[in-house]
Amino acid sequence: IAATQTTLEITNKVVAPDGFKRLAVIAGGTLPGPLLTTQKGGRFKVKVVNKLTERAMRKTTSVHWHGLFQKGTNWADGATFINQCPIASGHSFVYDFPTNEHTNTYWYHGHHEVQYCDGLRGPMVVYDKNDPHKSRYDVDNAGTVITLMDWYHMYAPVIGPQNHPDSTLINGKGRYAGGPAVALSVVNVEKGKRYRMRLASLACDANFKFSIDGHTSLEVIETDGESTKPMKADSIQIFAGQRYSFILHANQPINNYWIRALPNIGPAGFMGGVNSAILRYKGARNVDPTTTQTPSTLPLLEAQLAPLDHPAAPGIPQLGAADVNIRLEVGQNAQTGLFTMNGVTYVPPPVPVLLQIISGAQNAQDLLPAGSVYVLPRNKVVELTIVSLEAAAPHPFHLHGHAFSVVKGALDTVPNFKNPPRRDVYNAGGGGTTTVIRFVTDNAGPWMFHCHIEFHAVYGMSVIFAADTTSTELENPVPAGWSNLCPIYNALDPAD
Ligand code: C2O
Ligand code: CU
């Protein structure tokens, strides 16, 4: 299968997705950025061209391909100062990487400081002609991707961790309280057809309760790239970075219906089309819906979403009995107010961790940032026990380079080794909750593990798992463009 080749220009552009004009950081000219697709077994080859000019949101950039494992291409993972130096303005960098053995729904976003909150975010889909759920739906195309975003009227570096979004964007459109009644996104369906909707949270912070009026039997079939045993729900809570596919059966009377995405922070409730989009049946009039929300009696139960073909958690089915057992305490430094992981506030190192490894550093003590790097052996089962003492919950944690099994969620009373949910973002809660996840170190390189609330990740809630640091896989495929990034970056004015 040929590579899907694309160029993604990163520019500063004035946009007004909710009627409020602001300068933003935009990928490919649109908000969200263009949908990138390929087929199972294909590659993505994306040339990222940096044309940024606005220092206040950083002129340097990088792009992360969320949920794609980057097997053998750690250099293409996009996290600045872990996997690469930032791309300087006026320069470009080609990311060239394989798709996972699994298919489904992914996304891309800036991974340099808080830059993606200012707009650099877009959806990705890896289609599979032999999708195990194929018989369940009739339609799966660009029109069935639904992205959710929290949107801010101020620049992200200015607002910092005490942020509050101004609006919710569904497929790049929304309204803010007191703002103009701009046109909302419309999802078009035809009565009688079954649609595979791909719901992706491109949020920086907010989580959403998603529902569609009149459609109380959404059949969930994917969690973060993992096909699941179907499960019915009438509402879906989705955290930053998570994805779900669900089947929408357009079996209601021909009409317009509100699609709702109610955030936990920012514009509350539902006044004048805030937090909403429109589901429009073919034949319905071109008007706003008048439907009302039915209270949710069947919210999605994450803990019960079993994977379709990865039933068991890896390793010995007993808590604490993995090959490597790590306890991670999420907290806050009382003096600085910054977040901590096992007492350490993550601060990006001056030299990308991958470059340090390629240059010969292999032990956790040698690898910077000190106290934030955990060196792991190859092909071992790792159990992470995340104890979230930090009260400003939720904390949806994301692991780069892998999917993990959620052996015990914060709300679970007993562990599940038999068929635990498998995904790449999971909410670890807060105020003393414990979450246990497992993964296999089958992928060499330094991988970030962080809260996907960007304002938490950047203010210290991140660590690095460096697997198999002696692997020759790490340096073999590093392209010349990658090696050039650091000297160019190091010559820049730090304010860029
Ligand atoms: Cu989607 Cu490190 O993130
Ligand atoms: Cu967090």
pLDDT in tens, 161-175: 677 899 999 999 999
Task: Tell me the CA–centroid distance for residue 449 and ligand 1, in Å.
Answer: 8
Alpha-helix runs per DSSP H in 240-364 = 353-358
Say how many C-beta atoms besides its own lie within 10 A of residue 203's C-beta: 31
Mean pLDDT over all residues of the chain?
95
List pLDDT tens digits, range 76-99: 999 999 999 999 999 999 999 999
Judged by its nearest atom, the ligand closest to the C-alpha of residue 388 is: 2
Note the CATH architecture for domain 4-130. Sandwich (2.60)
Q: Separation of 159 CA from ligand 2 center, angstroms?
A: 16
- Is 79 close to ligand 1, i.e. is its CB under 6 Å away? yes
* Ligand 1 near 240 CB (within 6 A): no
pLDDT tens, residue by residue, 117-132: 999 999 999 999 999 9
| CA proximity to 218, closest of 208, 230, 233, 229 | 233
400 C-alpha to ligand 1 centroid (Å): 7
Does ligand 1 come within 6 angstroms of the Cβ of 111? yes
Q: How far is the CA of 257 from the centre of ligand 1 (A)?
A: 33
| Distance (Å) from CA 171 to ligand 2 centroid | 24
State whether the beta carbon of 121 lies less than 6 angstroms from ligand 1. Answer: no
In angstroms, rounded to a whole number, what is the distance separating the alpha carbons of residues 12 and 73?
A: 29
Q: Does ligand 1 come within 6 angstroms of the Cβ of 398?
A: yes
| SS3 label, residue 219 | strand
* Residue whose CA lies nearest to ligand 1 atom number 1: 66
For residue 1, pLDDT beyond 70: no
CA–CA separation, 298 and 171 (whole Å)? 25
pLDDT-above-90 percentage for the chain: 89
398 CA → ligand 1 middle, Å: 6
- d(CA 146, CA 199) in angstroms, rounded, equals 5
* pLDDT above 80 (res 160): no
Taking the mean position of all CA atoms in its chain, how far away is CA 160? Answer: 20
| 393 CA from centroid of ligand 2 (Å) | 6
What ipTM is given for this predicted complex? 0.99
What's 116's DSSP letter? G
Residue 203 in contact with ligand 1 by CB distance below 6 A: no
User: In this predicted model, which residue has the larger pLDDT, 34 or 5?
Assistant: 34
Q: Where in the chain is the domain with CATH 2.60.40.420?
A: 4-130, 142-304, 324-483
Which CATH number is 142-304's, of 1.10.357.10, 2.60.40.1120, 3.40.50.620, 2.60.40.420?
2.60.40.420
Please indicate whether residue 456, judged by its CB atom, sits closer than 6 Å to ligand 1.
Answer: no
Phi, psi of 159 (to 5 degrees): -75, -35
List pLDDT tens digits, range 317-340.
999 999 999 999 999 999 999 999
The CATH number, out of the four listed (3.20.80.10, 2.60.40.420, 3.40.50.20, 1.10.443.10), of the domain defined by the range 324-483: 2.60.40.420
Lowest mean pLDDT among 130-144, 158-172, 221-235: 158-172
Ligand 1 atom nearest to 425, measured from its CA: 1
125 lines ligand 1 (CB under 6 A): no
Instruction: Please name the residue whose Cα sits nearest to atom 3 of ligand 1.
Output: 66
d(CA 11, CA 39): 28
Q: What is the 392 CA–ligand 2 centroid distance (Å)?
A: 7
CA distance 491 to 28: 27
> Ligand 1: which atom is nearest the Cα of residue 450?
2
d(CA 241, ligand 1 centre) in Å: 7
* Ligand 1 atom nearest to CA at 79: 2
Q: Which atom of ligand 1 is nearest to the CA of 66?
A: 1
Answering whether pTM is above 0.90, one says yes
pLDDT at site 475? 74
- Per-residue pLDDT band for 267 (boundaries 50, 70, 90) equals confident
Q: Report residue 2's pLDDT band, with 50, 70 and 90 as the boundaries.
A: low
Q: Is the per-residue pLDDT at 477 higher than 90?
A: no
